[in-house]
Structure 1
Amino acid sequence: MRNRAALMCAALLLLPAGAAAQASGYSAVPIAMPAKANVMTRATLWKCAGDTCTTPQSDERDAVLCQLAAREMGILTAFTARGAPFDADALARCNARAR
């Protein structure tokens, strides 16, 4: 019983760290995946796998980073900045810069 309680406490301590790590990065979902697994936008390196491209951090403002991603990757169906998905209006403004 003691071990079980200790394991549950340890698991609870790990949850916020995982959520914080996920909420700190960016993700973009282009309509068509880029031909290369890595995409560079200014000084931000994106890694693409499956249907999503991700980057752990960027010095760009969220809206600018989305526009740069759309310019390099094409129209995006979704963009998430630090755990917060862009709404339809923000995504439309972003996609106005798509190639």
Structure 2
Amino acid sequence: MSITRYARPLAPIFAAALFAAPALAQTNAAPFYRAELAAPATAPRAIAGGVIWQCSGTTCTAAKGHSRPLVMCARLAREAGPITSFTAGGEALAAEQLARCNR
């Protein structure tokens, strides 16, 4: 018996995986979080809440993490400074939540 006898039925599965991986990566490319800082970021990247934040000027964005939006906001505020607005999945934190984020 040769290995090719067993490998041939698996070829379509491997081909599908090769084409699906880039598609999955593209769907995760859009930022889930967006924060506006009170002052421009001092670094182009920050790690807060277990995700990598990309910052330019006063705007920071990141992919979805595993914590609640308020927790993600507070962790970014500790790393990057006061936050003037924070959205998660297109929904902005309320004023009282934003105040808690900046404590």
Same fold by TM (over 0.5)? yes
Q: What SS does the aligned partner of 1:80 have? A: strand
RMSD: 2.2
8 Å Cα contact 2:47-2:53 kept in structure 1: yes
Q: What SS does the aligned partner of 1:92 have? A: helix
| Aligned-pair CA distance for 1:50 | 3.5
Alpha-carbon distance between aligned partners in 1 of 2:43 and 2:35, rounded to the nearest angstrom: 15
Ranges in structure 1 where 5+ consecutive residues have no aligned partner? 1-19
Q: What SS does the aligned partner of 1:71 have? A: helix
Alpha-carbon distance between aligned partners in 1 of 2:101 and 2:50, rounded to the nearest angstrom: 18
Question: Normalising by the residue count of structure 2, what TM-score does the alignment of the two structures yield?
Answer: 0.66
Query: What residue in structure 1 maps to residue 89 of structure 2?
Result: 82
Alpha-carbon distance between aligned partners in 1 of 2:36 and 2:76, rounded to the nearest angstrom: 10
Q: Which structure has the larger Rg over C-alpha atoms?
A: 2
Distance 1:82 1:24, change over 3 A: farther
Alpha-carbon distance between aligned partners in 1 of 2:31 and 2:44, rounded to the nearest angstrom: 21
| Aligned-pair CA distance for 1:51 | 2.4
User: Whose relative contact order is higher, 1 or 2, with alpha carbons under 8 Å and at least 6 apart?
Assistant: 1
Letter paired with 1:65:
M
The percent of aligned pairs where both chains have the same amino acid is 37
| Aligned-pair CA distance for 1:24 | 6.5
Question: Normalising by the residue count of structure 1, what TM-score does the alignment of the two structures yield?
Answer: 0.69
Query: What residue in structure 2 maps to residue 16 of structure 1?
Result: none
Paired residues in the alignment total: 77
8 Å Cα contact 1:24-1:83 kept in structure 2: no
Q: What SS does the aligned partner of 2:61 have? A: strand
8 Å Cα contact 1:27-1:55 kept in structure 2: yes
Q: Residue by residue, what CA displacement relative to the aligned partner does 1:9-51 show, whole Å, maximum 9, x if unpaired?
A: xxxxxxxxxxx98x96001111112211001114210001232
